[in-house]
Amino acid sequence: MRGSLLNVKDLRVVFYTYRGVIKALNGVRLWLNEEERLAIVGETGCGKSVTALAIMRLIESPGEIKSGQVEFLGRDLLQLSEEEMEKIRGKHISMIFQEPVAALNPVFKVGFQVAEAIAHSQNISLKEAYDLVPEALTMVGLDWKRTIDLYAHELSGGMAQRVMIAMALAVKPKLLIADEPTSALDVTIQAQILELLDNLVKVGKNAVIFITHDLAVASEFCDKVAVMYAGNVVEVAISDEIFARPMHPYTVGLIDSIPLVGQRKELRGIPGIVPDLVDPPSGCRFHPRCKYVFEKCKVELPELVEASNDHFVACHLYSGGGSTWQP
Ligand SMILES: Nc1ncnc2c1ncn2[C@@H]1O[C@H](COP(=O)(O)OP(=O)(O)OP(=O)(O)O)[C@@H](O)[C@H]1O
Ligand SMILES: [Mg+2]
């Protein structure tokens, strides 16, 4: 359970709201090797984006990182000064978001924004960085002469996402975090963007955390899949393995309901709804929806353990006690 690039341990994040304290992340555990691609999947509200933002230390008020470690190349990012963290963000970890047009700055031209990202990451002047913009835009399949002087609102969603990818990868990050990078785009454009990302990441040898609702896309694009439920990572396995031998009852339900994934409806395979994280269930947060629930599940949060070779699950059925369970 150790990655050579990133080790997230016991990450807890809360949001203080008028309804009460939302316990959004409940001890998240993740690890990633260099050049590896990890997908994070799970229903809406399970904490995928908050995990990504916490790794980048971009959780803003009313949110707060309560505890945990985000060890990146051996250094705990949660202990760095804001200044040191700025360097990590600009050079070593970059992020692309679901809404590319909104993520770009509306008042600056594309060329300037790409140049600024390059200048910041390579410690060169803006003028020098400008010379590298045509190459960066061409790399993502854009006609740079036509794109360089446009503003964000003049770009289509697909073009804007290509610009975001150009900015994110121009800095040659060790780790790229992509939070649902294609879900706001048309289906045909989605496929193009994924193929582009796939090629660029292969060439750039970037490690990737890829956040998606779509388990099928996750397993195709990534080496490993981490399944999240209500603020916890409940299962981690190699992509093929998670389909062939899902262990956690939630993952089994998620796979059963694949045609519905992404449509934000109740899962076919799993009755009940995602719990309210102001007052989450005790013990395993999945226990009220689990048909294999037994006493221990209601009182004790299961730890993520290696249940079989390179296959990790957080479920008491695998630490003994469940009588009706046959994986
Ligand atoms: N700024 C915020 N203020 C209050 N609560 C928040 C905030 N951001 C996230 N949360 C809460 O944290 C929890 C996790 O949210 P998160 O955005 O990580 O979910 P997600 O898995 O990314 O969902 P989606 O698939 O819809 O993007 C949710 O309960 C959400 O309501
Ligand atoms: Mg999200």
Query: Would you place residue 184 in the very low, low, confident or very high pLDDT band (cuts 50, 70, 90)?
Result: confident
* pLDDT value of position 325: 54
Average pLDDT over residues 37-52: 95
DSSP assigned state of 239:
H
Check if 277 has its Cβ closer than 6 Å to any atom of ligand 1. yes
Average pLDDT over residues 89-111: 91
- State the Cα angle at 191 between 205 and 46, rounded to 5°: 75
Average pLDDT over residues 58-68: 97
Q: Whose Cα sits closest to atom 16 in ligand 1? A: 47
Backbone angles phi, psi at 204, to 5 degrees: -75, -10
Report the share of the chain in percent with pLDDT over 70. 94
Q: Whose Cα sits closest to atom 24 in ligand 1? A: 44
Is 155 a residue whose pLDDT tops 70? yes
The torsion defined by the Cα of 56, 57, 61 and 63, in degrees rounded to 10, comes to 90
In whole angstroms, what is the distance from residue 16 CA to residue 21 CA?
5
Of 176, 175, 207, 224, nearest in space to 1 by CA: 224
* pLDDT value of position 260: 47
Check if 45 has its Cβ closer than 6 Å to any atom of ligand 1. yes
In whole angstroms, what is the distance from residue 143 CA to residue 146 CA?
6
Residue pair 234/308 in contact by the 8 Å Cβ criterion: no
**Cα–Cα distances in Å, from 173 out to 13, 122, 145, 260, 308?**
25, 11, 26, 34, 32
Q: Whose Cα sits closest to atom 9 in ligand 1? A: 50
Nearest-Å Rg of the Cα atoms of the chain is 20
Q: Which atom of ligand 1 is nearest to the CA of 45?
A: 19
Query: Would you place residue 268 in the very low, low, confident or very high pLDDT band (cuts 50, 70, 90)?
Result: low
Q: Which atom of ligand 1 is nearest to the CA of 98?
A: 27
In whole angstroms, what is the distance from residue 263 CA to residue 64 CA?
29
Query: Would you place residue 286 in the very low, low, confident or very high pLDDT band (cuts 50, 70, 90)?
Result: very high
Backbone angles phi, psi at 10, to 5 degrees: 50, 40
Check if 22 has its Cβ closer than 6 Å to any atom of ligand 1. yes
In whole angstroms, what is the distance from residue 244 CA to residue 267 CA?
20
